[in-house]
Amino acid sequence: MTLRNRREASPGPAEQPGLPEWVFDVLRCPVSGAELELSDGPQGVELVAAEGADPRLAYPVRDGIPVLLEHEARQID
């Protein structure tokens, strides 16, 4: 499910971090190339690689800016 579909299906707890909609259509995990989905994580809003990504990583969003650095990501089991 893409980010757009997820937001249309249900608003969910996470809110768009102040970026234009088209940005989410082109953002990809820099490690796996998977689509990223907006989610609430233990440290706040984050972008999570779609299910099936190897590895499945979650990237923090700080001050509305996605931090797409592998060393900043956390592993999703």
Asked if 67 contacts 51 with a C-beta cutoff of 8 angstroms, the reply is no
Residue identified by tokens 């797409």 is 68
Asked if 29 contacts 53 with a C-beta cutoff of 8 angstroms, the reply is yes
Helix (H, G, I), strand (E, B) or coil at 40: strand
Q: Give me the pLDDT at residue 15, please.
A: 58
Residue identified by tokens 């499910």 is 1
pTM of the model: 0.75
Q: Give me the pLDDT at residue 49, please.
A: 96
Total number of residues shown for the chain: 77
Q: Give me the pLDDT at residue 20, please.
A: 77
Q: Give me the pLDDT at residue 14, please.
A: 56
Distance CA 44, CA 39 (A): 8
Q: Give me the pLDDT at residue 68, please.
A: 97
CA 31 to the chain's CA centroid: 13
Q: Give the chain's residues under pLDDT 70.
A: 1-18
Q: Give me the pLDDT at residue 42, please.
A: 93
